[in-house]
Amino acid sequence: MSKMLDLLLENKIVAILRGIEDSDADAAGQALIDGGIRMMEITMNTPGAAVMIKRWRSRFDGQAAVGAGTVLDVEMAKTAVDAGAQFLISPNLDEEVVRYGHENGVSVWPGVMTPTEIVKAWKAGAEAVKLFPMGTLGTKYLTEIRGPLDSIPIMATGGVDLHNIADYFAAGANAVGMGGKLLNLEWVREGRFDLITDRARQFVEAVRSL
């Protein structure tokens, strides 16, 4: 088990930052950390993602792990790792990306939906998988696949909020990925980083109580 997987299973939440402006990124990241978030990803389809990842690795060293999201292929994976990404997350399963991460000591948690994809990712060397889109699949789906697939760590992504987060873990999730429900970009644009910290703290406390 890698250090990043340990961190994922311990903290249970990965904050997803998509489409954030570079000028707001540091303050938003600090607000999440102040609220107790210890794992953050910047999606690679965010303009300037690699630059932000590199800066965050230095700025938040020892406070939070920094990864890259929406890593669709090996080229994106290389760009992210060169910038200092400590883990790679994708919405899809690309076995070349899994192999690249394994060869370079970087955790890769690929996106999957079906039992076949989950097992395929596991056999390719993925330590954990991202079950997506959970907002559409629903927690009953997770409960059903957990029966035969009880040994593979699953990060459920999509549709998580304060009212249902306990249901995700009750259904068998080991962790959750969270975007807009955790990091409201409107609050970022308004400079209401205090609200982001408060929201992060609510989610962190919610998973600690499980």
Look up the CATH number of the domain holding residue 137: 3.20.20.70
Q: How confident is the model at residue 209 (pLDDT cuts 50, 70, 90)?
A: confident
Q: Which of 3, 10, 21, 41 is catalytic?
A: 41
Whether the per-residue pLDDT at 1 is higher than 80: the answer is: no
Q: Is residue 60 part of a domain?
A: yes
150 vs 26: CA distance, rounded Å: 38
What's the domain count of the chain?
1
Residues 6 or more apart whose CB falls under 8 angstroms from that of 138 comprise 159
35 vs 177: CA distance, rounded Å: 16
Specify the pLDDT at position 9: 98
Token pair for 201: 């703290």
- Active-site residue flag, 181: no
- Stated as kind and residue range, the H or E segment containing 23 is helix 22-34
- Active-site residue flag, 130: yes
Q: Which of 54, 120, 130, 190 is catalytic?
A: 130
Q: Is residue 191 part of a domain?
A: yes
Show the domain range for 120: 3-205
pLDDT tens digits, residue range 109-164?
999 999 999 999 999 999 999 999 999 999 999 999 999 999 999 999 999 999 99
Residues 6 or more apart whose CB falls under 8 angstroms from that of 144 comprise none
Mean pLDDT of 175-187: 97
Q: Is residue 210 part of a domain?
A: no
